[in-house]
Amino acid sequence: MSAAVAARQILTRLHEVMASRLHAQGKLDQVVDIIAECLDSEVCSIYLLREGMLELVATHGLNAEAVHVTRMAIGEGLVGTIADNVETLNLAEAKAHPDFQYRPETGEEKFHSFAGVPIVYRERAVGVLCVQHLDPRRYEDVEIEALQTTAMVLSELISNNELIDEEEARGLAPADTGPATVAGLPLVKGLGSGVAVYHQPRITIDQVMADDIEAERQRVYRAFDRMRDQIDNLADRAEFGVGGEHEEVLKTYKMFAYDEGWSRRINEAIDSGLTAEAAIERVQQRTRMRMREIDDPLLQDRMHDLEDLANRLLRIVSGQIGTAASQGLRGDAILIAKNLGPAELLEYDRRRLKGVILEEGSLTAHVVIVARAMGVPVLGRVRGLRGMVQEGDLVLLDADNGNAVARPAQQVVDAFAARFAKSRERQAHYAELRDVEPFTRCGTRIEVMINAGLRDDISALPLVGADGIGLFRTEFQFLVSATLPQRERQFRLYRDVLDAAGDRPVIFRTVDIGGDKALPYLRESEFENDENPAMGWRALRLALEREGLLKVQARALLEAAAGRSLHVMFPMVSEPWEFDAAKAVFDSQLAHLRRKKKILPEAIRYGAMLEVPALAEVLDQMVPRLSFLSVGTNDLTQFLFAADRANPKLAERYDWLSPAILRFLRRIAQATAGSGVDLGVCGEMGGRRLEALALLGLGFRRLSITPVAVGPIKALVRQVDLAELEKAMQGWLAAPPQDMRGALTAWAQERGIETD
């Protein structure tokens, strides 16, 4: 008998049972009878997890008195081992297995062979379906597959609460595999706890048994077509270039996507009576099991690719293409993703998002900057997440120490709560510095401003006691909008920001779109030929070309600042003429408003970001044009080191405290010293205490940082003697120590300055 026919027979009969009006126990009893008969097995039993134990709930062939009496813990006996490892066992001689445990009440001593499969619900084993035979024989693949298919049906029924009642279903929740800790790179420090939510949720399979097999075949056929198209398009995209790792990865993807064996197995599963979704999942389960037996990290990676593809196929076939954001967060959540774009993150409810765990990520990726601004801790570069953390697990995220615990034990939860309280205490201490002006020990006033970009950020200004907004990323409004924001909407946001800031200055940076801030609604062709978007068609380059964009923004800013001061900053200025061209757009808008007799801003100050190294070579030409200059260390570092700021592999490679960067920054400070140009740093570097210390030592007196860092940086400033620090910095830059970070840390420690 083929696997398909065996499984179809079982499925047809199960279908009848499930459609019957029998009560839950009656259905379970029928299910075991059918399986025992179809697989010609003396015994068939179902164990379901109840109150944390696997309870024998139905049997054909074991002593009836054992039902609801025999209970095994997870990990105990063969049944417990299957549930624990979420793995199939197929044994000719059950007693020979080291985990075998004899339960006299069942009367199972006479049976030799044993095969069992986990019943999986929401990635957890919530039960076990097993068969036993008098003769010592290994069950054939077709039989195991039939069991697995039945287990899927049972899990569907569990999810529909047809086999167990509501209360028992809730009892399934503690079904876990114990605590698991994952480690990664702290990208945004902080603590957070919540329920694990996958950004790309697992597909829920509503129907396991097919009503019309031919229709299911067609569905999967079309889905394969679409998936292959997607993969081909991906491979053809210029940004992947030729050669290198990307090509390898895509080759493997393509190989899997076109693998005839894969599609054949899915079709066979459909023939057995499964829906397209269930068939894909069934085949994937089997592959997972096979791969798990092979302990090879390279193959594990490939497994990841295949999982990815199978999920893609499932999403296409089921039409479930939305992210978790579209479903909304129901409570405190820790978001889990491979990677995210800033716009995707912004779709989540800020109040409920307590943390993010990424498989990739780097310190200056925009998604991380956004998370930092939102005060959401982020752990990045975590490997093996999918296997360790399941949707719905409680997760304690400790991005201070670079780890997260899923399904923590109660003592860990308590210890975490205590640390939470401590960290709140520390924050309360920083909050006390709100009205304290940051003077150094030697009496120099340091300007501490915040970076912002969202309407909600404005409220942070008075809360943390900052001197103003040193960088308002206007493109964030573009990122969170479904369409290009019209002038009126821009105007309203800018006006509200200025209203909220009152006397404090706000430096509006004109749009920096492109790079990792692509807008879905701007024609893709704008970016699609960018092989290297960070160095490509972005920021001022794009804005000058699409003059309409800059004109609209200029008008919105000028009108919003009517009767008050306006600070405008241009991003990615690489040559002086670009600054002039951008300013000319503002000038012409200003002239227009003047002609119209509108109220004009009472003062306009223009500045530039220094994030393209070339600009540092022409500062003599730039200085007379500028009112202020703000160093964007995020981009500057990526260009100085030729290291993509969003590439997770490079996330830890280069240090902001490396002599190359520090010397470069010192040159900028020297070139602007005494010129009247206000110099600051607005990259993420300035919000980290040790890095901020270095910047003060280099002559920077204005830092624009993420709001949560204002307290800690003010505290730092108050402990520093600038003359002493500058002298030490001169020494380090003249003859750089092997470990600049270590030298600076030791210097701070000797003086009792807290830097971590």
Interface residues with ligand PEP (CB under 6 A)?
A: 369, 471, 473, 512, 611, 632-635, 682-683
Contact 472, 508 (CB under 8 A): yes
Task: In whole angstroms, give the CA distance from residue 220 to residue 270.
Answer: 9
Q: How far is the CB of 645 from Mg ion (least distance, A)?
A: 9
Q: Which residues contact 93 (CB under 8 A, 6 or more apart)?
A: 112, 113, 136
Q: Report which DSSP code applies to 632.
A: -
Q: Compare residues 632 and 712 and give the one whose CB is closer to Mg ion.
A: 632
Residues in contact with 438: Cβ distance below 8 Å, sequence separation at least 6, in sequence order = 445, 446, 448, 713, 714, 717, 718
The pair of three-digit structure tokens given for residue 417, joined into one six-digit string: 């709560």
H or E element that contains 58: strand 53-60
The verdict on 644 binding Mg ion (CB under 5 A) reads no
The span from the CA of 176 to the CA of 180, in Å, is 10
Look up residue 200 and give its two tokens: 């790309």
Residue nearer to Mg ion on the CB measure, 127 or 632:
632
* Minimum CB distance to ligand PEP smaller for 47 or for 472: 472
* CB 696, min distance to ligand PEP, A: 18
Give the chain's radius of gyration (CA, Å). 31
Judged by beta carbon distances under 5 to 8 A according to partner kind, the member of ligand PEP, Mg ion, none in contact with residue 633 is: ligand PEP
Smallest gap from Cβ 336 to ligand PEP, in A, equals: 24
Give CA angle at 442 (441, 447), nearest 5°.
80
Q: In Å, how far are 7, 78, 243, 311 from 149, measured between CA atoms?
A: 7, 20, 42, 19
C-beta closer to Mg ion: residue 38 or 612: 612
Interacting span for Mg ion (CB under 5 A) from 56-64, 104-112, 126-134, 629-637? 629-637
Longest dimension (CA), the chain: 101
Contact window for Mg ion (CB under 5 A) among 150-158, 493-501, 630-638, 698-706:
630-638
Residue 704 interface partner, choices ligand PEP, Mg ion, none, CB cut-off 5-8 Å depending on type: none
**Judging by beta carbons within 10 Å of its beta carbon (0-12, 13-18, 19+), is residue 569 exposed, middle or buried?**
buried
- Its sign, for the CA torsion 351, 357, 363, 366, is negative
Give the nearer residue to ligand PEP in terms of CB position, either 393 or 512. 512
Question: 474 contacts which partner out of Mg ion, ligand PEP, none, CB within 5 to 8 A by kind?
Answer: none
| Shortest spacing between CB 538 and Mg ion, in angstroms | 9
Only one residue has tokens 């503690």, namely: 174
Per-residue x/- track, 260-299, Mg ion (CB under 5 A): ----------------------------------------
Taking the mean position of all CA atoms in its chain, how far away is CA 516? 15
Minimum CB–partner distance for residue 709 and ligand PEP (Å):
14
Q: How far is the CB of 611 from Mg ion (least distance, A)?
A: 5
Count residues near Mg ion (CB under 5 A): 3
User: Is 632 an interacting residue with respect to Mg ion (CB under 5 A)?
Assistant: yes
CA–CA dist 193, 756 (Å, integer):
22
Taking CB atoms, the residue at the shortest distance from Mg ion is 635
Instruction: Return the one option of ligand PEP, Mg ion, none that residue 271 interacts with (CB less than 5 to 8 A, by type).
Output: none
Long-range contacts formed by 673-677: CB under 8 A, 24+ apart? 673/699, 675/623, 677/623, 677/626, 677/627, 677/628, 677/629
* 611 scored as a contact of Mg ion (CB under 5 A): yes
Q: Which does 369 bind (CB under 5 to 8 A by kind): ligand PEP, Mg ion, none?
A: ligand PEP
Q: What is the crossing angle of helices 141-159 and 276-293, to 10°?
A: 120
Q: Which is nearer to ligand PEP, 461 or 685 (CB)?
A: 685
What is the C-alpha to C-alpha distance for residues 725 and 507, in angstroms, rounded to an integer? 29
| CB 114 to ligand PEP: min, Å | 59
What is the C-alpha to C-alpha distance for residues 460 and 323, in angstroms, rounded to an integer?
A: 29
Query: Which of 192, 514 has the CB closer to ligand PEP?
Result: 514
Q: Which stretch binds Mg ion (CB under 5 A): 213-221, 253-261, 377-385, 634-642?
A: 634-642
Give 516 or 611: the residue with its C-beta nearer to Mg ion. Answer: 611
Q: Which does 108 bind (CB under 5 to 8 A by kind): ligand PEP, Mg ion, none?
A: none
| Distance separating alpha carbons of residues 289 and 88, to the nearest angstrom | 8
- In the bound state with ligand PEP, the residue whose beta carbon lies nearer, of 190 and 683, is 683
In terms of CB distance, is 341 or 683 closer to ligand PEP? 683
For the chain, the residue count is 756
Binding residues among 581-610 for Mg ion as defined by CB under 5 A: none
C-beta closer to Mg ion: residue 632 or 697 = 632
Residue 520 to residue 513: CA distance in whole angstroms: 11
Question: Shortest approach of ligand PEP to residue 537 CB, angstroms?
Answer: 15
Phi, psi angle pair for 131, to nearest 5° = -125, 150
Output DSSP code: residue 274. B
Q: What letters, b where the CB count within 10 A reaches 16 and e where it falls short, cover 380-405?
A: bbbeebbbbbbebbbbbbbbeebbbb
Q: From the CB of 717, what's the least distance to ligand PEP, in Å?
A: 20
Shortest distance, position 417 Cβ to ligand PEP, whole Å? 34
Closest contact distance (angstroms) between CB of 691 and ligand PEP is 12
10 Å CB burial of residue 234 (0-12, 13-18, 19+) is middle
Query: 710-717 vs 689-698: helix axis angle to the nearest 10?
Result: 50
Q: How far is CA 411 from the centre of its chain?
A: 27
Residue 691 Cβ, how far from Mg ion at the closest point, in Å?
Answer: 16
Q: Minimal CB distance to ligand PEP: which residue?
A: 632
Q: Which CB sits closer to ligand PEP, 88 or 364? A: 364
Residue closer to Mg ion by CB (options 193, 633) is 633
- The least distance separating ligand PEP from the CB of residue 513, rounded to whole angstroms, comes to 11
- With CB under 5 to 8 Å by kind, the binding choice for 360 among ligand PEP, Mg ion, none is none
Q: How far apart are CA 325 and CA 344, in angstroms?
A: 8
Residue closer to ligand PEP by CB (options 341, 632) is 632
What is residue 512's three-state secondary structure? Answer: coil
Please say whether the dihedral angle defined by the alpha carbons of residues 719, 722, 724 and 728, taken in this order, is positive or negative.
Answer: positive
Which option in Mg ion, ligand PEP, none does residue 683 bind, with CB closer than 5 to 8 A by kind? ligand PEP
Shortest distance (Å) from residue 632 CB to Mg ion: 4
Q: How far is the CB of 516 from ligand PEP (least distance, A)?
A: 9
Comparing CB distances to ligand PEP, the nearer of 558 and 682 is: 682
Instruction: Give least dist CB 615 to ligand PEP, A.
Output: 12
Q: Which residues contact 516 (CB under 8 A, 6 or more apart)?
A: 341, 342, 365, 366, 367, 533, 534, 646
Residues 188-227 as x/- pattern, contact with Mg ion by CB under 5 A: ----------------------------------------
Q: How far apart are CA 487 and CA 100, in angstroms?
A: 72
681 binds, among Mg ion, ligand PEP, none (CB under 5 to 8 A by kind): none
- By a kind-dependent CB cut-off of 5 to 8 A, residue 359 interacts, out of ligand PEP, Mg ion, none, with none
Residue closer to Mg ion, measured from CB, 118 or 632: 632
Binding site for Mg ion (CB under 5 A): 611, 632, 635
